[in-house]
Structure 1
């Protein structure tokens, strides 16, 4: 049938802009946006009319309503346009003949599909736009509308460009699931999401789609990407169920953006976040974070910038992290009916309505149930009868998220799978011994296949059977494969990674014969053990451990007596220690200790191995007494059983020495390491890593005792030996650099310390990532170096950033977090908000008093710092009493000549002056200067501080001649030591009284 064509301009509506109304299915919105942009640039007025073919309205009425619009009507022809409703081809043919044919001149059409369409669509004379480039598609569009086809002038540089041609991909595209060709409805949600993101201010384009399990959040996000993706230059989809996976997948965006980085994903991640924030090289980016149910895990890593972030989550708490919320409910009944009829064409509309009612409109359940009902001869009435108790009387909710009928519906579906491909049930049951979500079934394929149960061996050894089982599970939407465009090197086509919904996971796991449960859990345990790379200290292998740890609980690995499985548990604990996952590691370690003691006895070798790793985690989390108790039990037993030259006994003592540090028993720790280092050297030699660990710990023990020169010498020896043995970027070599730079700083060699520490921070970020606790320790020391150099502009923000990241990574009460808070409080006392400094100081002091025994040097030091804040706000008497107590307690804890005690004395002399006790103040500052000179040397910064303070006290006594002499000598030494422009020199020259800040030393 031929159609009469007329130009767009012939509207009969006067001389205003010509109008084109674009009628399109929501599925083809990207085409509508591109076409509309092309026409508007040529001066036309465009009206968008999304086609919504409601099943309860005759097609002739809907087409008649479309005829009421102004100007020409341009229909974007696709199978989606004619399937909405859903309508039969016969219905469409009749309506097109009745309504469109008499008014063919009003209609024009372009086709974006090659699918079979109703025959009467020929009346639209659609021009084909597929399988061609944008220029040719535009020429054809304009020709169809009888518009000039002359090319438009190029847009000025920097002007925002319109939507991308829909047949072309964004320049960067990764990880996006395949488009769900059965996607139905959700138009209001998609439009709301679009407008919320497009209307957001730059840097605030973050939207969270939240709702219960099975409601279709991921499918909705994927559809958003396909509908609106042409408006972005970058579309990147990330599995955000865990922090480590999120970081890795985000880092893999770096090469796609063309960013010049090294191979370390910490460096790549920083480059990606900076690139997105700046909008360079791409400003129009869309990042999808799928399954981000734990905002606290990743919110600090969500990039800001000119682009958009779309999050799917069951957790509405994202609103606390500057995200807008969009709730995703179950389907409306109309959406449910439309979806069921598309999924199961054999079902009538009343059947679909009944089924939707029974399944409570939950998309996941509708998808799975309708899929197999379409292949079955069972009626909907029969199926609903089964749901109501005919097949399983135990119809209960599995969790608050699950519909009542879910368990029974699954019993029916599993029976169907069992009848067709029974191996699919075996594979599905194996998957439930991994954590729900993304299942790394590649681990099953890669494990040794000897001595496997017969039914599993057949499945894993036969690629055809494997693929058949996976395809059967996919057919009924039990699992989904990761896209062939998945990020990383996982091969979806080979079934390397499946996605198993947590609802499905729970019901299948619950409904399993005991014999299968025993066999399948053993297979998964062995697969996890085989995946253990065996070196938890190697940062290059941390991704592999991150892939194992989430599954330990579901495989119940602690019940295994397999030595390889037990070794894997120990290695995972070691990994959790190095990556700062202390709380999770302690929970796993404590469960393991209780379980293994029951299974193996109190004195099995595994108990001592486990005790060592658990003690490390407890100590890192500040649980010193618990760590020391576990370590002491191990030490006593191993000494009695094996003697003093046993390596396990020495290792237990190494840990116990660190516990003594935490408890403030520094001299005991020093004595222990004075014995341990030669003991290791005699047994293993000078260059063994364990010998070097003992040497490192001896150096730290000396630093805690204020013996900085001796500690520096040991740190230098340890650093050189570790670089030779382990290479310069090994975590232990980097750790030695922190120790060495810290001692340089404590000795007043600030420039050297800053130079080394700045280099160390750069390498830590490359090797271990920006948020690793050791990286933060390095940055904390760098902030201290900058502060001592007088670079307050760089030190202040770094103190703030380190503290905030410690709080996010380790929590408010971790020893490293508290140490960072102490430093931050001291800095802002002098260079920031005194009220904030006081609040922070009160908090840290309360935590120390709660966690540590009275008399601990950290408590005394915290009180010394707090006294300075009280002085600054005018509470002199309270400040004086507090510093006197701190000085007494510090002397009792570490001795009169320790630098910490001398520092307390410097501050106490100032407070004595303020309350009028000038003679006592001068005597105390004189004593402090003498003691500092004796232990640290005449020109050490603390000695110089005490000398300057003493000069001020002498002036307070009226002894101007001695004060002048003391001051001039101190100024001369300050200038020679730190330089005449150093802030301490300038401050002393201005006669500002110096003070000392206590700095907790933690590892």
Structure 2
């Protein structure tokens, strides 16, 4: 919100809104003061347009202000965004040129500006003195110039930006690449100015390299014009601080003796009294030991700004302002200013690898700017622990690398609290970010290094060690139970920044690394709940998974650690974290084959979970190759009746279904079910899983009644032997409702699926893939039942979450996109339907080939869009080609083929071939009745289509007879007001949408 400054003469001149980049705040303050002195009412708008907002819109927003809009132009004004000069020229021509009466501009830079700024008739203030700058400013606004009282007579006014305060010492040069921190700078300003007299002390607190000093320096340059004295003091040593404070005495013109003590007393007294200057700012930089320097802080009407890593300043009457790492947008903008050759995407990758730490970004981007090394290659070196410190580019004002600076702090901690560093080392073998300290507290003492045993057993030492790390901003902690009356001991979480993590590990001897790594692995294995299928335990697995790689668990030979890895993979699969699971499996598979041998039982276990992940993301050919190799080997080695073989064969059958080898999959799945039944019994969970999979095989073959019977048996058994809300039980509910829907029993299907969706959301969460699958089925049930608006709303939300959680090319996303495209074609946006349909069709063809049923069926959906768009010839060709291909692939009796035939009969009728259309409609109706039953919606649609074809052949008597029978059956099965019934009654030609079946 703009801040309005009022003046007694405000009514005499038009209002002016000053638009400025934060970097130029001092100019804005001075310009506002000058304009107010000449009768203008002034308000301020800091220019910081969001990247996602078009530049034209941000400029138009300025026109909402009253009066003139004065732009303070500089490099920084144009860089915010960041935007190119071409972007600016386009925006200026679109917004400013038509409103030159509303805009005015001054410039405070000599750098080249976008050419379209010529329309603003820019006044140059940068090289002028105060009086000439004021004259040019007023002339640009058409305000008569008159000499105002001198600044000396009115000491409260802002100083001319190019004039330093009367006393100025030790301030670092301004960082021209300073980025962001706008909110922090405003907070510091308000904290200092709103503090009570003699208590305006603010400490900028943060970890090493986070930019505390740079933020303090930028504060000086932005707000320095409001002070008469600015004095910057290094405060890491008491002696240095005393010396620099004493040097203020002659700078202030104080009469004091040559001794430091006398000068210090004189300086403190002058600052306290505010003579000769009451507007003073003292900066204590690097004051990391408050107990040694706190007594030297002056009091008085001025302001004190401290930078420190030490949280203990909170005990010395200062306000703490935490300086966090950069936000990602700030990081990307900074890297691109530091290294022009790095693009936005690579800047984002680098920022992520360096944890958005400003000093690390500065030194690394500076190094990369002077080299040709690709950013991804550098990041890989960083992740592999390569020694890259020697290549970092340091600055004159901070002539050491981040690693060196942090190592100095660690050495200081080791001297005072060595057990804190030992704890930090152990934590570095967990992943950067949150480290659950409870995992460590649960370990038996015998599993701990000797130097940590006493620490774990002594609550006071434990608390002291963590407090010391927090005190020096090395880590931060939080308690997950925060907000409760009694936080649970041992549940606190320690947050370890990525660069702290890397530096601690890099400086550790090899023998210590192995020891701490082993302890971390034991802590993780000790915390394994052992039941990844239990959704109630998923939060614990989510806590463990991030630490597998950092702890060395992925390459461990310890049995308990390997079981943990396997359970984590199972959890990732069930919870829908497929990409994360694949990353782990891809790394573990070759490591275990080398460690254990290619035929070790645990390698087969891993292969099973690995293949499940490959299959669920659509990498079917890879999955089939691995599963077939496992089946062949296990059958040859162990014979047919082996549980590992049956598990591998289950996976192979799923691969074959995905690759549309349906008959082969059915035969294999039946064998698996028979063998499981014989080996472990009908009620074993593995047998029920095989029964579920056999139902899927029947479903994809279009044998819906048989699929329904098997899914009913599996659902009843799972409800009895597992929890009713177990995720496998819920999965059986989806399948059973799916079968009912495919059989046209929509009311029954929706009654089951509505309740199941609620249970899924409660048990598994709204973003779990199984929940998304349940919601997709519910939307399809609603749509088939005629609840079109509800269905489209639900499916739109489901598709958005599929895209966000799983990605655009995930099989589940493609299924949802295909269904939503069909709905949009019939009831919504034809362009969106075409876009979605083409995207799905292209991806299926790439992933599965042109002759796969999913690709063929998707081409039919696309053909219907083309027909609706008036492209009938292209639509006809696609449908006729699809009919032949689908019949060759799955047979002419399959419901998919019959559905395409229904569409093809309409195409032939429209093309002027009523005889061919009627013949096809008769055949399709007969086969549909045999396959699905005479009263199935598809069979009845074929009868409605036949009536239309007979009418085109002028056989109206037979047409009316067929139509009357079809309408009677539709009314009886779906209801007289169902959309299909109404559509048939109005003699609208029926059509069929392809929908793939979940595997």
Alignment of 1:851-870 (within 5 A): 851-870=847-866
* Aligned residue number for residue 755 of structure 2: 759
* Aligned residue number for residue 24 of structure 1: none
Number of matched pairs:
717
**Is the contact between residue 201 and residue 319 of structure 2 (CA under 8 Å) also seen in structure 1?**
no
CA 1:930/1:187 → structure 2, altered by over 3 Å: closer, same or farther? same
Query: Which of 774, 795, 814 is residue 810 of structure 2 equivalent to?
Result: 814
User: Which stretch shifts more, 86-95 or 698-707?
Assistant: 86-95
Tell me, in whole angstroms, the C-alpha distance in 2 between the residues paired with 1:895 and 1:958.
32
**Is the contact between residue 780 and residue 799 of structure 1 (CA under 8 Å) also seen in structure 2?**
yes
Query: Which of 787, 793, 804 is residue 789 of structure 2 equivalent to?
Result: 793
* Aligned residue number for residue 776 of structure 1: 772
**Is the contact between residue 894 and residue 901 of structure 1 (CA under 8 Å) also seen in structure 2?**
yes
* Aligned residue number for residue 196 of structure 2: 76
* Aligned residue number for residue 718 of structure 1: 714
1:652 counterpart = 2:772: no
Tell me, in whole angstroms, the C-alpha distance in 1 between the residues paired with 2:297 and 2:850.
86
* Aligned residue number for residue 442 of structure 1: 438
CA 1:95/1:448 → structure 2, altered by over 3 Å: closer, same or farther? closer
After TM superposition, give the deviation of residue 492 of structure 1 in Å: 9.4
1:684 counterpart = 2:804: no
Tell me, in whole angstroms, the C-alpha distance in 1 between the residues paired with 2:399 and 2:967.
79
Query: Which of 489, 493, 516 is residue 520 of structure 1 equivalent to?
Result: 516
1:913 counterpart = 2:904: no
After TM superposition, give the deviation of residue 853 of structure 1 in Å: 3.3
Secondary structure of the corresponding residue to residue 498 of structure 1: strand
* Aligned residue number for residue 426 of structure 1: 422
CA 1:460/1:600 → structure 2, altered by over 3 Å: closer, same or farther? same
**Is the contact between residue 417 and residue 425 of structure 1 (CA under 8 Å) also seen in structure 2?**
yes
Query: Which of 854, 874, 877 is residue 881 of structure 1 equivalent to?
Result: 877
Secondary structure of the corresponding residue to residue 536 of structure 2: helix
Tell me, in whole angstroms, the C-alpha distance in 2 between the residues paired with 1:680 and 1:484.
45
Alignment of 1:347-746 (within 5 A): 396=390, 404-482=400-478, 486=482, 496-746=492-742
**Is the contact between residue 741 and residue 757 of structure 1 (CA under 8 Å) also seen in structure 2?**
yes
Secondary structure of the corresponding residue to residue 477 of structure 1: coil
Query: Which of 952, 957, 974 is residue 956 of structure 1 equivalent to?
Result: 952
Tell me, in whole angstroms, the C-alpha distance in 2 between the residues paired with 1:837 and 1:814.
19
Q: TM-score, normalised by structure 1?
A: 0.65
Deviations 1:804-831 (A, max 9, x none): 1111111111111111111011111111
Alignment of 1:108-187 (within 5 A): none
* Aligned residue number for residue 920 of structure 2: 924
* Aligned residue number for residue 842 of structure 2: 846
1:836 counterpart = 2:832: yes
CA 1:189/1:589 → structure 2, altered by over 3 Å: closer, same or farther? closer
After TM superposition, give the deviation of residue 425 of structure 1 in Å: 2.7
**Is the contact between residue 484 and residue 493 of structure 1 (CA under 8 Å) also seen in structure 2?**
no
Deviations 1:276-323 (A, max 9, x none): xxxxxxxxxxxxxxxxx99999xxxxxxxxxxxxxxx9579xxxxxxx
Deviations 1:184-208 (A, max 9, x none): 9999999xxxxxxxxxxxxxxxx96
After TM superposition, give the deviation of residue 598 of structure 1 in Å: 0.8
Tell me, in whole angstroms, the C-alpha distance in 1 between the residues paired with 2:317 and 2:592.
50
**Is the contact between residue 482 and residue 492 of structure 1 (CA under 8 Å) also seen in structure 2?**
no
**Is the contact between residue 82 and residue 92 of structure 1 (CA under 8 Å) also seen in structure 2?**
no
TM-align CA RMSD: 4.6
After TM superposition, give the deviation of residue 457 of structure 1 in Å: 3.4
CA 1:599/1:858 → structure 2, altered by over 3 Å: closer, same or farther? same
Tell me, in whole angstroms, the C-alpha distance in 1 between the residues paired with 2:498 and 2:634.
45
**Is the contact between residue 363 and residue 393 of structure 2 (CA under 8 Å) also seen in structure 1?**
no
Deviations 1:844-878 (A, max 9, x none): 11111110134211111112212211211222222
Tell me, in whole angstroms, the C-alpha distance in 2 between the residues paired with 1:184 and 1:639.
74
CA 1:427/1:488 → structure 2, altered by over 3 Å: closer, same or farther? farther
Structure 1 alignment gaps of length 5 or more: 1-12, 15-46, 60-72, 103-114, 125-176, 191-206, 216-292, 298-312, 317-326, 332-356, 362-392
After TM superposition, give the deviation of residue 466 of structure 1 in Å: 3.1
* Aligned residue number for residue 898 of structure 2: 902
After TM superposition, give the deviation of residue 94 of structure 1 in Å: 4.0
After TM superposition, give the deviation of residue 572 of structure 1 in Å: 0.8
**Is the contact between residue 90 and residue 118 of structure 1 (CA under 8 Å) also seen in structure 2?**
no
Tell me, in whole angstroms, the C-alpha distance in 1 between the residues paired with 2:501 and 2:658.
44
Q: TM-score, normalised by structure 2?
A: 0.65
* Aligned residue number for residue 285 of structure 1: none
After TM superposition, give the deviation of residue 430 of structure 1 in Å: 1.2
Tell me, in whole angstroms, the C-alpha distance in 2 between the residues paired with 1:296 and 1:751.
50
Alignment of 1:10-159 (within 5 A): 76-77=196-197, 79-81=199-201, 91=267, 93-94=269-270, 97=273
Secondary structure of the corresponding residue to residue 724 of structure 2: coil
**Is the contact between residue 198 and residue 299 of structure 2 (CA under 8 Å) also seen in structure 1?**
no
**Is the contact between residue 436 and residue 491 of structure 2 (CA under 8 Å) also seen in structure 1?**
no
Deviations 1:931-958 (A, max 9, x none): 0001111110010011101111111111
* Aligned residue number for residue 230 of structure 1: none
Tell me, in whole angstroms, the C-alpha distance in 2 between the residues paired with 1:843 and 1:887.
21
1:934 counterpart = 2:930: yes
Tell me, in whole angstroms, the C-alpha distance in 2 between the residues paired with 1:578 and 1:991.
47
**Is the contact between residue 51 and residue 81 of structure 1 (CA under 8 Å) also seen in structure 2?**
no
CA 1:828/1:615 → structure 2, altered by over 3 Å: closer, same or farther? same
**Is the contact between residue 55 and residue 85 of structure 1 (CA under 8 Å) also seen in structure 2?**
no
After TM superposition, give the deviation of residue 178 of structure 1 in Å: 11
After TM superposition, give the deviation of residue 911 of structure 1 in Å: 0.8
CA 1:120/1:52 → structure 2, altered by over 3 Å: closer, same or farther? farther
**Is the contact between residue 479 and residue 493 of structure 2 (CA under 8 Å) also seen in structure 1?**
no
Tell me, in whole angstroms, the C-alpha distance in 2 between the residues paired with 1:823 and 1:888.
23
**Is the contact between residue 314 and residue 320 of structure 2 (CA under 8 Å) also seen in structure 1?**
no
Q: Does 1 or 2 have the higher relative contact order (CA < 8 Å, sep 6+)? A: 1
* Aligned residue number for residue 223 of structure 2: none
Tell me, in whole angstroms, the C-alpha distance in 2 between the residues paired with 1:721 and 1:91.
86
Alignment of 1:983-994 (within 5 A): 983-994=979-990
After TM superposition, give the deviation of residue 510 of structure 1 in Å: 1.1
After TM superposition, give the deviation of residue 90 of structure 1 in Å: 6.6
Deviations 1:323-359 (A, max 9, x none): xxxx99779xxxxxxxxxxxxxxxxxxxxxxxxx999
CA 1:641/1:487 → structure 2, altered by over 3 Å: closer, same or farther? farther
**Is the contact between residue 807 and residue 817 of structure 1 (CA under 8 Å) also seen in structure 2?**
yes
Tell me, in whole angstroms, the C-alpha distance in 1 between the residues paired with 2:920 and 2:734.
34
Tell me, in whole angstroms, the C-alpha distance in 1 between the residues paired with 2:627 and 2:194.
79
Tell me, in whole angstroms, the C-alpha distance in 1 between the residues paired with 2:407 and 2:597.
42
Secondary structure of the corresponding residue to residue 896 of structure 1: coil
**Is the contact between residue 481 and residue 495 of structure 1 (CA under 8 Å) also seen in structure 2?**
no
User: Which stretch shifts more, 665-674 or 721-730?
Assistant: 665-674
